[in-house]
Amino acid sequence: MTARRGTVIGIVAAVVAVVVAAVVLLGGRGTDGSTNQAGVARAASVEGPEDAALPEVDTQALVEGLEQKAVAKIAPVRLAEGLVPPTNRWFSGLVFGDEPQPVFPLPASFGLTDSGFGVGMPKPVTSEKAIVAPHVPGVTVDAGAQDVRISAYDTATVSMELLDGEGAVLGTVVIAEGSPFASFTAGDSGASLTLDAAFTPAEGATAAEGTSVATATTDGSDYGLVTPEGALEGSSVTLEAGASATVYPLPQDASDEALTALAEAAADPVVGSELSYGVNEQVARTTIGYVTASGSPSAYVTMPHHRLGEQPQRADCAIGEYASVYGTLELCAGSTLTTWAPTVEPQGELDLADIPEDKLTVIREQVAKDVESTVPFPSDTYFGGKALNRAATLVVLGEQVGAEDVVAPLREKVTETLLEWADPARCGTEEARCFVYDDAAKGVVGLTPSFGSDEFNDHHFHYGYFLAAAGLLAADDEDLKDQLAPVMDVLAQDIAAVTASEWFPELRNFDVYAGHAWASGTSPFADGNNQESSSEAINAWNGLGLWAATSGQDELGVQATWLTSAEAASTKAYWTDPDLEDPVFEGFDHEVVSLNWGGKRDYATWFSPDPGAMLGILLLPMSPVSGYLAGAPEGIRARVAEGTPDGWEAKFSDYILAYSALAGPEDAATAWDEAQKLSDEWIDDGNSRAYLLAWIAAVESGGVPSLPTS
């Protein structure tokens, strides 16, 4: 054994000293990295770790080295030519499908109409199993459009061109996550808009020079409208070329300060966003810059996870509040949203140093049984990857406990299968266990697809397992690393390219504002995009970090640590450990939220109504990094009790047992006993009893790192 496998990513930014100059992208950024207007450098300072150096990747060479096939089942309907299809985004429903779907940029909701667009203020309604706030337009804007196309997007914004019957641009609508504003900027011929709400001059708000502000009340919600002076007459707005009108919901019981801040910000529309991140030993920082047309300050709202722990001081925040399915959103004046999350470093093996010898003996004996019972590996991208990760984890565990000879045949078997998947040319002759690049879809699709992965569903779930297995098995094998690298590197780019290119979108799966990934490729839902298995998302970023460490890609390792940390913080805030004292949960009768959407939160899964499924899908595969799930013991016990109403003989009982050990020493001791008695039927296909026992023993001995519980 060596110390390298499973060591934390020491490349995190305690040593990150390279500062990457941030670039402001006026007008929004295309996915080829271009700008719609001239770019300028942003001088705004941010708190926390310095900006991380971005990974340098020869993406073209990776793509060209893979078999090329048109296999993806996606068809972007409303996308400008030359843009990479934006799958797995909060706004993907605007792009795909016969009819555009509503989206939830927060605090507003937004939907395209036959001739323009509508803006709503979602009103959460809570029941025993769900919190819902659908898109109900409060203000509809008729621009006389007959068609629409998404013309630009970046990490937090999307731009939509409204077109007349001949394809001429009437104007461009821009919305952004966390921004209250939906702005319409007139095209070269000017524009005439018709509103369905009665706006009157506002009281209490000071308008920016050359603009006027009006308000309206519809369906119990207040909205603001900022236009050039003289542009609003009755229900009509007349705009000269390049002029803008901005619609936005007002906070509850809005103060004059909030009204003025919004009115002044609305006069200079958001046209794009920028991202930077940094990591040190304590915190991972995410910074979103909202770019305005003229560079003046904007406004944004913070979600609960943006305010957890010791966050940076925010000037001009909490000046107003909005309700949402995620809890209270706080309004801030400014253009830079910075969030800190406790650092969670990718980790590949459990710390077994302090486990008593008698328990190590039990684990060692169980390793032999689990190797013997390992079934042939499936050939689809989900169960195939999951099985490889299970086997690689078992191999590493066996080598840790001195059973190298026992696991050697399994190491050989899983390596052989992983090399099949990592053959860049295999899909030229085979129809399974291989990956292709689809040039039309601009992404990697594995054969055989599963769970809609050819529609770009769940790519991070699937590919994270492959990256983790490769990172574990090749950690001490330079030849194997070189053989795996071409395909593993391209999988990493598919799910997590941090720099947009003509081959991949920027951060396909990860939403920098929401702090977590989205699972649906095309998001054909009226409730927005969604994610169920938050734990498999974290497994993806952990796998990315393991592969980065094995392949010596330091900058990719920093990125993986940032992604793991951010996703862990949002997972606890919204899935596994939500603040049930928040008023939005009044009437919700469960301990976890197993399925989160843009405009809805569910105690439900895609595959089972069982309570164990609700919790288990948020835990698997309980990798060594899963100590982030630790928290208040009483909370863990309540969630375990809810997930196991009929005892331990149920689906995902193995993962729930592992989770229960985090509640304290007595809980871990009970879990150890129950894990030995658990029927083989209830050991998940991605787990092994030996690993389950090792996890519980490691928790009991303090060998599983956890986050602060405050």
- Residue 616 — very low, low, confident or very high, per pLDDT cuts 50/70/90? very high
Q: Nearest to residue 623, comparing CAs of 467, 434, 458?
A: 467
How buried is 390 (Cβ within 10 angstroms: 0-12 exposed, 13-18 middle, 19+ buried)? Answer: buried
| Cα 164 from Cα 152, distance rounded (Å) | 19
Q: Nearest to residue 347, comparing CAs of 554, 564, 559?
A: 564
Answer with the residue of higher pLDDT: 19 or 272.
272
CB of 563 closer than 8 Å to CB of 89: no
Rounded percentage of the chain residues whose pLDDT exceeds 90: 89
CB of 386 closer than 8 Å to CB of 458: no
Residue 429 pLDDT greater than 80, yes or no: yes
What number of other Cβ atoms are within 10 A of residue 708's Cβ? 10
- Predicted local distance difference test score (pLDDT) of residue 708: 52
- Residue 310 — very low, low, confident or very high, per pLDDT cuts 50/70/90? low
Residue 37 pLDDT greater than 80, yes or no: no
Answer with the residue of higher pLDDT: 48 or 479.
479
Q: Nearest to residue 25, comparing CAs of 14, 36, 10, 11?
A: 36
| Cα 372 from Cα 181, distance rounded (Å) | 60
User: Chain-wide mean pLDDT for the chain?
Assistant: 92
Residue 254 pLDDT greater than 50, yes or no: yes
| Cα 431 from Cα 500, distance rounded (Å) | 30
| Cα 56 from Cα 555, distance rounded (Å) | 8
**What's the Cα-to-Cα distance from 493 to each of 27, 472, 498, 556, rounded to whole Å?**
26, 19, 8, 10
* Cross-sheet strand order for the sheet of 329-333: 299-302, 329-333, 320-322
pTM of the model: 0.93
Tens digit of pLDDT for each residue in 470-514?
999 999 999 999 999 999 999 999 999 999 999 999 999 999 999
Q: Where are the beta strands (DSSP E) in 479-537?
A: 510-511, 516-517, 530-531
Angle at the Cα of 369 from the Cα atoms of 366 and 375, rounded to 5 degrees: 130
- What is the secondary structure of 353-407 as a DSSP string? TTS-HHHHHHHHHHHHHHHHTPPPPP-SHHHHHHHHHHHHHHHHHHHHTT-HHHH
- Predicted local distance difference test score (pLDDT) of residue 42: 26
Average pLDDT over residues 662-688: 97
Average pLDDT over residues 25-30: 29
Say how many residues make up the chain.
710
CA torsion sign for 186, 192, 193, 199 is: positive
CB of 604 closer than 8 Å to CB of 614: yes
- Predicted local distance difference test score (pLDDT) of residue 534: 98
| Cα 355 from Cα 542, distance rounded (Å) | 24
Q: Nearest to residue 397, comparing CAs of 377, 411, 418?
A: 411
SS3 of 409-453: HHHHHHHHHHHHHCCCCHHHCCCCCEEEEECCCCEEEEECCCCCH
Average pLDDT over residues 524-529: 98
Tens digit of pLDDT for each residue in 69-111?
999 999 999 999 999 999 999 999 999 999 999 999 999 999 9
| Cα 328 from Cα 306, distance rounded (Å) | 11
Average pLDDT over residues 627-640: 97
- Residue 311 — very low, low, confident or very high, per pLDDT cuts 50/70/90? low
Residue 467 pLDDT greater than 60, yes or no: yes
Residue 5 pLDDT greater than 50, yes or no: no
| Cα 582 from Cα 686, distance rounded (Å) | 35
Using N-to-C axis directions, what is the helix angle for 404-421 and 478-496, rounded to 10°? 50
- Predicted local distance difference test score (pLDDT) of residue 318: 87
